[in-house]
Amino acid sequence: MIISRSQVIKNLSNIPGWRTRRHLIIIESDDWGSIRMPSEEVFNILLREGINWYSDEGYRFNRYDSLATTEDLAKLFEVLSSVLDSTNRHVVLTPVSLTANPDFTRIRNSDFTEYYYEPFTETLQKYKGCENSFKLWQEGINKRLFVPQFHGREHLNVKVWMKALKANNKRIRHAFSYGIWGISTANDPEIGVELQAAFDLVSSDDLIYQKEVIITGLKLFEKIFGYQALYFVPPNGPFSSSLESTCAEEGIKYLSVSKIQTEPLGHGRTKNRLHWLGQVGKAGLTYISRNCFFEPGLREKDWVDSCLNDISIAFKWHKPAVISTHRVNYIGAIDTKNRDEGLEKLSLLLHEIMKNWPDAEFITTDELGRIIDGN
């Protein structure tokens, strides 16, 4: 039997770190609360006006991703509640959530000289079908179906975006006029970083503002949800280790990191850091890494089979299965077919997990953190 290089890497990457004999399943889903594409109409208008979404690395997100409607959440909860684990509890999702979005009106009224944001709960009121969806968020929390943790204040590098707006960057200003920031900018020589990477650094001076973003974002999280966030997943990955002490001071106990993390140092410099599950950083944060992936909205492979293989490898090395999946897979605000197909595959994955591992337990990421800490 020939084992592929990717399979060898997956096995090796699961060896280091904390172990358990329990078959723990954690499903983390990124981007909840953040705006992306307001409507299919806006997508098509900008396409006609010269923004080539099809050459954009974030095409799938710009084509299908938006705020979750009441119907989106209700259908997701149906799938999660339809499967019981070995403890007789239903599946639970950890939606990694943003607490705010830019206030486009106030920014425009300041002639792009000042940045303003609004809680995502206010943004919901501006999107058709989302006006009452926060009630579903609260229901999901109360029923332990959908328990948010922190993804940042905005899924946006605010300083870089505002600098581009002030400089009258044509693409950025044009997208802004339709309430959008999520266009790919990594290859734009005037910008140089992805706008979605909220904690990437152009200069080390940016760290002062990024500390403020963490503090205000976490305070807003507690105000919105009524409890303190314990787990933080920096958007898109880039994150300076110097910010970990700020996270710890504000109540974060667990931090999502890549096993090989490319840490930004500013001025185009980076540093690679090696991490493993259960490792504790200098600020006392426990690191949690994802080792399974499920993106059914991509057509490149059978994601159910692929994720089951990832889970099998994790369990082989006595690791919990920490599954990464994005909100876009379950959103039907722009195209209901996108949501329905994503949920169908999610349902299949969940039933196959219980078929293959009848003793599986579905837990939240913060519950995993407490188990790792011995609590």
Mean pLDDT for 8-34 is: 96
pLDDT band at 57 (very low <50, low <70, confident <90, very high): low
When mean pLDDT is compared across 100-109, 191-200, 361-370, the lowest value belongs to 191-200
Whether residue 326 lies inside any domain: the answer is yes
Structure confidence by residue, pLDDT tens digits, 110-122: 999 999 999 999 9
**In this structure, how many other beta carbons lie within 10 angstroms of the beta carbon of residue 220?**
19
pLDDT band at 44 (very low <50, low <70, confident <90, very high): very high
pLDDT for the residue 250: 98
Whether residue 53 lies inside any domain: the answer is no
Number of domains in the chain: 1
Residue of higher predicted confidence among 6 and 209: 209
Whether residue 129 lies inside any domain: the answer is yes
pLDDT for the residue 79: 98
Q: For the chain, what percent of residues have pLDDT higher than 90?
A: 88
What's the chain's Rg over C-alpha atoms? 20
pLDDT band at 55 (very low <50, low <70, confident <90, very high): low
Looking up residue 343, the CATH number of its domain turns out to be 3.20.20.370
| Mean pLDDT of all residues belonging to the chain | 95
Q: Which runs of E-coded beta strand occur in the chain?
A: 24-32, 93-98, 100-102, 117-119, 149-152, 231-232, 254-256, 260-266, 269-274, 286-288, 292-293, 321-326, 361-362
DSSP 2: P
Whether residue 49 lies inside any domain: the answer is no
Indicate left, alpha or beta for 41 from its phi (over 0: left) and psi (-120 to 50: alpha): alpha
Structure confidence by residue, pLDDT tens digits, 122-148: 999 999 999 999 999 999 999 999 999
Find the length of the chain.
375
Structure confidence by residue, pLDDT tens digits, 304-357: 999 999 999 999 999 999 999 999 999 999 999 999 999 999 999 999 999 999
pLDDT for the residue 268: 82
pLDDT band at 52 (very low <50, low <70, confident <90, very high): confident
Assess whether pLDDT exceeds 80 at residue 1.
no
Mean pLDDT for 230-240 is: 97
Assess whether pLDDT exceeds 70 at residue 56.
no
The span from the CA of 257 to the CA of 234, in Å, is 8
When mean pLDDT is compared across 9-13, 94-98, 350-354, the lowest value belongs to 9-13
Residue environment code for 74-87, b if the CB has 16+ CB neighbours within 10 A, otherwise e: ebbbebbeebebee
Whether residue 14 lies inside any domain: the answer is yes
Whether residue 46 lies inside any domain: the answer is no
Q: How open is the CA angle 90-322-85, to the nearest 5 degrees?
A: 20
Mean pLDDT for 267-279 is: 92
Host domain of residue 80:
5-36+68-156+201-372
Whether residue 320 lies inside any domain: the answer is yes
Whether residue 175 lies inside any domain: the answer is no
pLDDT for the residue 183: 85
Mean pLDDT for 230-234 is: 98
Structure confidence by residue, pLDDT tens digits, 186-226: 778 888 789 999 999 999 999 999 999 999 999 999 999 99
pLDDT for the residue 206: 95
